[in-house]
């Protein structure tokens, strides 16, 4: 298998696998980078697919890029093209925007731990203030200390970063992550719940079995879209693709329209 090859575009991105084969685009979550998806993406490249991984604005090789969710969806679409889109958390929210903006590009959509947005305007305002405060805190303490606090949140169910994971996330800058929170945080996102009915592609909503909040949201997404399914990843919390990658691969396989024999 050849090495990962860079893709020219507005965001740092790489591809792997057979050019012209069905494509799967993987989009990471907050504080992560494209590398967080590579072990899973590689398995799909080994199955004869073409895979693409992208660094979101404020992260990794795109640390100097600033964009809100809609502009980020524009940029992901330009490097991802037509295929199955798989997004985790922040990446899932980006992929939701992309699927609504460019439905002709999205053959199927896989959302892991993704939130379509906060309906209540007052709650959304409170979350926006909390995201702003978290961004200031991140700038005060730096990325290393912030990663320790972030991954210790109950949301992640005791997940521990490996030394390699931490080193990769330390490529992020405090300024880039803070601006990601301010520009693309859940508090800044307008709710997409009323628009889920517009999604005209198969949608698979996933969540970790120990992530009760997002398990309920996954079920609600699957019910709201015309062609939706949902599934839980066993023995995993929010970052299920890192905690139980084999089960996540098995779930994604069911969502890809055509896998070469």
The sign of the CA dihedral 205, 185, 130, 89 is: positive
* Rounded Cα distance, 261 and 250, in Å: 16
Spatial CA neighbour of 134 closest among 89, 187, 212, 58: 187
* Rounded Cα distance, 261 and 175, in Å: 45
Cβ proximity of 122 and 63 under 8 Å? no
- How much is the pLDDT for 260? 67
- Paired sense of beta strands 5-7 and 13-17, if any: antiparallel
Those residues with Cβ within 8 angstroms of residue 36's Cβ, 6 or more apart along the chain or in another chain: 28, 29, 88, 165, 168, 241, 242
Share of the chain above pLDDT 70, in %: 98
Spatial CA neighbour of 14 closest among 42, 30, 31, 32: 42
* Rounded Cα distance, 89 and 230, in Å: 15
- How much is the pLDDT for 1? 39
Alpha-helical segments (H) within the chain: 38-46, 69-80, 90-101, 121-141, 143-151, 163-169, 174-184, 212-224, 240-243, 245-253
Where the chain has pLDDT below 50, the residues are 1
Burial (CB < 10 A; 0-12, 13-18, 19+), residue 154, is exposed
Cβ proximity of 14 and 36 under 8 Å? no
């Amino acid at each position: 298998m050849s090495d990962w090859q860079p893709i020219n575009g507005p965001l740092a991105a790489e591809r792997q696998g057979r050019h012209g084969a069905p494509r799967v685009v993987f989009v990471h979550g907050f504080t992560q980078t494209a590398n967080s998806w590579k072990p899973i993406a590689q398995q799909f490249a080994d199955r004869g697919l073409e895979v693409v991984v992208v660094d979101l604005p404020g992260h990794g090789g795109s640390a100097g890029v600033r964009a809100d969710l809609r502009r980020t969806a524009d940029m992901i679409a330009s490097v991802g093209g037509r295929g199955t889109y798989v997004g985790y958390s922040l990446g899932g929210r980006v992929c939701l925007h992309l699927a609504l903006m460019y439905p002709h590009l999205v053959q199927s959509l896989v959302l892991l731990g993704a939130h379509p947005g906060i309906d209540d305007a007052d709650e959304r305002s409170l979350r926006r203030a909390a995201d702003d405060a978290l961004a200031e805190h991140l700038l005060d303490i730096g990325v290393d200390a912030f990663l320790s606090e972030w991954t210790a949140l109950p949301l992640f169910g005791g997940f521990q970063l490996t030394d390699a994971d931490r080193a990769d996330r330390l490529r992020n800058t405090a300024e880039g992550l803070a601006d990601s929170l301010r520009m693309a945080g859940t508090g800044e996102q307008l709710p997409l719940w009323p628009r889920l009915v517009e999604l005209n592609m198969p949608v698979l909503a996933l969540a970790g079995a120990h992530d009760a909040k997002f398990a309920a949201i996954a079920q609600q997404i699957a019910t709201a879209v015309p062609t939706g399914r949902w599934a839980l990843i066993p023995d995993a919390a929010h970052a299920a693709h890192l905690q139980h990658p084999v089960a996540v691969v098995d779930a994604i396989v069911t969502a890809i329209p055509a896998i070469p024999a």
